Chains A and B, each alone.
Chain A
Amino acid sequence: TQLLEQSPQFLSIQEGENLTVYCNSSSVFSSLQWYRQEPGEGPVLLVTVVTGGEVKKLKRLTFQFGDARKDSSLHITAAQPGDTGLYLCAGQYSGNTPLVFGKGTRLSVIA
């Protein structure tokens, strides 16, 4: 059972386009994180959100945590080839539990 569903699984866009990827669950999380993974490397943390409705911005990336803390979205403005990678969301049920990861959205930005 996949506790965190990410969509879409694959996304291929042209440089300069905007995009949004989603992370959904039927469970409530105490915190949620987004990671980016490049080929041959481990995931790298982008952001942590902990409050329902929270919005965080990291340059062209905007992260939102759902009001009910069951879902999250990542929006990229004016995508660049350097944004190419596997975007993973990961949730923590409580402070005592380790992260559970979604399968990720594989993004390809074509110049």
Chain B
Amino acid sequence: DAGVIQSPRHEVTEMGQEVTLRCKPISGHDYLFWYRQTMMRGLELLIYFNNNVPIDDSGMPEDRFSAKMPNASFSTLKIQPSEPRDSAVYFCASSPRRIYGYTFGSGTRLTVV
């Protein structure tokens, strides 16, 4: 089992550019979560999916953020346009059911200059 796979590991982009983060969850996990981690705010939930359907996107900070899950093995988080305050580590996690531990990917460290 390869675990949750995120790409890229690091992304440096200029303000105003579009950024796309990718995630491949563990096969058979019905839940997928996107979190953002900063020193100031810790881990914050952005959005989560159940069986590829977005359930709660209330954590998405602004309309500049969007997420999709076109199939059970792939999800994207897009920021357009990016801003310096979006700089953080973005994690994807998956889980086989609601009351269960999450398996996290290694994260994408995003720096917007």
**In-complex Cβ contact of A42 among B45, B56, B91 (8 A):** B91
| Residue among B48, B98, B104 making CB contact with A43, cutoff 8 Å | B104
* Chain B CB within 8 A of A103 CB: yes
Shortest Cβ distance from B14 into chain A, in angstroms? 24
Q: Which of A20-28, A54-62, A71-79, A91-99 contacts B (4 or more CB under 8 A)?
A: A91-99
Q: Is the interface of A mostly helix, strand, loop or mixed?
A: loop
Contact A101 B43 (CB under 8 A): yes
Evaluate contact between B104 and A42: CB separation under 8 angstroms: yes
Query: Are B98 and A96 closer than 8 Å at their CB atoms?
Result: yes
B35 to chain A, nearest CB (A): 8
User: How far apart are the CA atoms of A35 and B106 in the complex, in Å?
Assistant: 14
Closest-CB distance, B76 to chain A (whole angstroms): 18
Residue of A nearest to B38 (CB): A103
Given contacts A100-B45, A101-B42, contact A92 B101 (CB under 8 A): no
Q: How many A-B residue pairs have CB under 8 A?
A: 49
Give the Cβ gap from A22 to chain B, nearest Cβ, in Å.
16
Contact B48 A42 (CB under 8 A): no
CB-CB < 8 A to B33: which residues of A? 98-99
Indicate if the CB atoms of A102 and B42 lie closer than 8 Å.
yes
Question: CB-CB < 8 A to B110: which residues of A?
Answer: none
B25 at the interface (CB under 8 A from A): no
Q: Taking beta carbons and an 8 Å cutoff, which residues of B are in contact with A?
A: 4, 33, 35, 41-45, 48, 56, 91, 93, 98-107
Q: A41-B106, A98-B56, A103-B41 are known; give 15 further A-B pairs, CB within 8 A.
A: A30-B99, A41-B107, A42-B4, A42-B104, A42-B105, A42-B106, A42-B107, A43-B43, A43-B91, A43-B104, A92-B98, A92-B99, A98-B48, A100-B45, A101-B44
A interface, CB within 8 angstroms of B: 2, 30-31, 33, 40-45, 48, 50, 88, 92, 95-96, 98-104
